[in-house]
Homo-oligomer: A and B are copies of this chain.
Amino acid sequence: MKSTPRRLVIVGGGIGGTAVAKRLANDPAFEVTLLDRQNHFVFQPLLYQVATAALGSPDIAVPIRFMLRKARNVRVVRAEVTKVRTGDRIVETSVGEFPYDVLVLAAGVETSYFSRPDWERNAPSLKSLADALRVRERVLAAFERAEVTTDPAEHARELTFVVVGGGPTGVELAGAIAELAQDALPRDFRHADPSEAHVVLVEAGPRLVPMFHENLSARAVKDLAERGIEVRLGAMVTEITECGVWLGDEFIAAANVIWAAGVKSSPLGTDLPVELDRMGRVKVEPDCSIPGCPDVFVIGDQAHFRPPGYEDALPAVGGVALQQGQHVARLLRDELRGRPRKPFRYFDRGQMATIVRHRAVVEVRKLRLAGEIAWWMWLAVHIVFLAGFRNRVAVAMHWIWTYATLQRGSRLIVRGESGVHPPPPPEAPR
């Protein structure tokens, strides 16, 4: 007797959501619908390289439906999810309602400007390809404007870059902007000297990359300083204007401010009948389901998962999302065979962040590395992760591949917003 497949709806095509879909690929017991507002999956760790022009956007993204093309029981739908109704077991979206038997929320996080959403206009963030292209265009346009500015103060302001937030993204971005300015651009300009660019990294807390051991945090400060980047620890941003950044009473005149300071969970968590943490993340049970709704799971960055004996929730990193996605898929299969649910266990494979060229930090349990070797490890790991992508090998290779496999590499829908930064006002700040 063939039973009706269970309708599984997955919200979010990031690492967690696609992991569930991949693990249930072609399993006739499940009819899977994956919803995402974007048509593409983005390899987030390299967004900062798109923002600093080292990579093009197609290099770090693939269409979600292309990733899952062989999973015939998985349907990918480009839609904005507007509401989750757990009572009716329905997900409402911009293209209609999707009923489910099992729901997996893996909608991730978005940028938070805390109580100041108006800062977004002058301080773009870096969560999507559109963000990365916007940052790239602003950064490059600043050098173009510096080339034609005759006023020395304005020239200095155009070439001042303030990165807010000392986590991995902020550190990587500050380093990459300094490299762009010092290594890539100088020969191309005649009046402006890009190597005079001033990069300031502002962090409210006492140290950079706080998820690493404090020795590595200190090392990051040193490596950045050697590249000429000014690191400001314990510095709280109090205002961001078109003209620059205020740190309390101190003003840094800067045409380029980039926000890498805060994230908050997808607002979909508020539709669930459960407790959220301070960041809006959903507090989940040991099996990743939510209290009272065993058929609703929340995984990845959107979930607050506190393993027994831990003081804090698991960090918002790709490894957690991947393993939780795999866990939920396995659990759903096991359940059909009458096996009891197992709790999720996280296997920590360590963490790494690049600082500048030839400098990175790596921490795997008790092993801590910094400097050149760590950087090569970072490169190797990220090339390996990226190798899963069908990433292009220049135009000749594009063509060979396109004409041999009949596939296309750049099928990305990146929302615009990449407009050029408006010309700065001539007035002095405030």
In the complex, the answer to whether A391 meets B395 with C-beta atoms within 8 Å is yes
- A347 contact set on B, CB distance < 8 A: none
- A191 contact set on B, CB distance < 8 A: 75
Residue of B nearest to A134 (CB): B416
- A180 contact set on B, CB distance < 8 A: 408
In the complex, the answer to whether A410 meets B188 with C-beta atoms within 8 Å is no
In the complex, the answer to whether B357 meets A55 with C-beta atoms within 8 Å is no
Query: Can you list, as one digit per residue, whether each of A82-100 has a CB less than 8 Å from chain B (1) or not (0)?
Result: 0000000000000110000
- A414 contact set on B, CB distance < 8 A: 133, 137, 418
Report copies per complex.
2
- A76 contact set on B, CB distance < 8 A: 188, 190
Query: Can you list, as one digit per residue, whether each of A148-181 has a CB less than 8 Å from chain B (1) or not (0)?
Result: 1000000000000000000000000000000110
Of A197-205, A209-217, A307-315, A399-407, which binds chain B? Answer: A399-407
- A236 contact set on B, CB distance < 8 A: none
Whether, in the assembled complex, A57 has its beta carbon less than 8 Å from a beta carbon of chain B, the answer is: yes
Whether, in the assembled complex, A275 has its beta carbon less than 8 Å from a beta carbon of chain B, the answer is: no
CA distance A414 to B57 in the complex (A): 12
The answer to whether A399 and B383 touch (CB under 8 A), given A50-B410, A56-B409, is yes
Number of residues of chain A lying within 8 A (CB) of chain B? 73
From residue 93 to 111 of chain A, which have CB atoms closer than 8 A to chain B?
A: 95-96
Whether, in the assembled complex, A377 has its beta carbon less than 8 Å from a beta carbon of chain B, the answer is: no
In the complex, the answer to whether B56 meets A188 with C-beta atoms within 8 Å is no
Query: Can you list, as one digit per residue, whether each of A49-60 has a CB less than 8 Å from chain B (1) or not (0)?
Result: 010111111111
How far is the CB of A51 from the nearest CB of chain B, in Å?
10
- A50 contact set on B, CB distance < 8 A: 410
Of A62-70, A226-234, A240-248, A297-305, which binds chain B? Answer: A62-70
- A188 contact set on B, CB distance < 8 A: 63, 65-66, 69, 76
The answer to whether A420 and B415 touch (CB under 8 A), given A55-B395, A96-B148, is yes
Chain B CB within 10 Å — which of A65, A188, A415 has the most?
Answer: A188
In the complex, the answer to whether B136 meets A410 with C-beta atoms within 8 Å is yes
In the complex, the answer to whether A394 meets B397 with C-beta atoms within 8 Å is yes
Chain B CB within 10 Å — which of A55, A136, A141, A183 has the most?
Answer: A55
Whether, in the assembled complex, A428 has its beta carbon less than 8 Å from a beta carbon of chain B, the answer is: no
The answer to whether A411 and B148 touch (CB under 8 A), given A65-B188, A395-B59, A406-B184, is no
The answer to whether A53 and B184 touch (CB under 8 A), given A39-B140, A415-B420, is no
The answer to whether A415 and B411 touch (CB under 8 A), given A65-B188, A392-B394, is no
Whether, in the assembled complex, A293 has its beta carbon less than 8 Å from a beta carbon of chain B, the answer is: no
In the complex, the answer to whether B418 meets A415 with C-beta atoms within 8 Å is yes
CA distance A406 to B184 in the complex (A): 5
CA distance A189 to B66 in the complex (A): 9
In the complex, the answer to whether A95 meets B56 with C-beta atoms within 8 Å is no
In the complex, the answer to whether B391 meets A386 with C-beta atoms within 8 Å is no
- A65 contact set on B, CB distance < 8 A: 188-189
Chain B CB within 10 Å — which of A137, A140, A410 has the most?
Answer: A410
Question: Which of B56, B396, B412 sits near A58, CB closer than 8 Å?
Answer: B56
- A144 contact set on B, CB distance < 8 A: 39, 78, 413
In the complex, the answer to whether B66 meets A357 with C-beta atoms within 8 Å is no
- A218 contact set on B, CB distance < 8 A: none
In the complex, the answer to whether B56 meets A56 with C-beta atoms within 8 Å is yes
Given A133-B414, A391-B395, 12 more contacts at CB 8 Å? A54-B410, A55-B409, A60-B395, A70-B187, A75-B191, A76-B190, A95-B145, A95-B148, A140-B413, A144-B413, A183-B407, A416-B418
Q: A residues within 8 Å of B by Cβ?
A: 39, 46, 50, 52-60, 63, 65-66, 69-70, 72, 75-79, 95-96, 133, 136-137, 140-141, 144-145, 147-148, 179-180, 183-184, 187-191, 357, 379, 383, 386, 391-399, 402-403, 406-420
A/B interface sample: 9 pairs, CB < 8 A: A53-B410, A76-B190, A78-B147, A95-B145, A144-B413, A184-B406, A357-B403, A393-B394, A413-B420
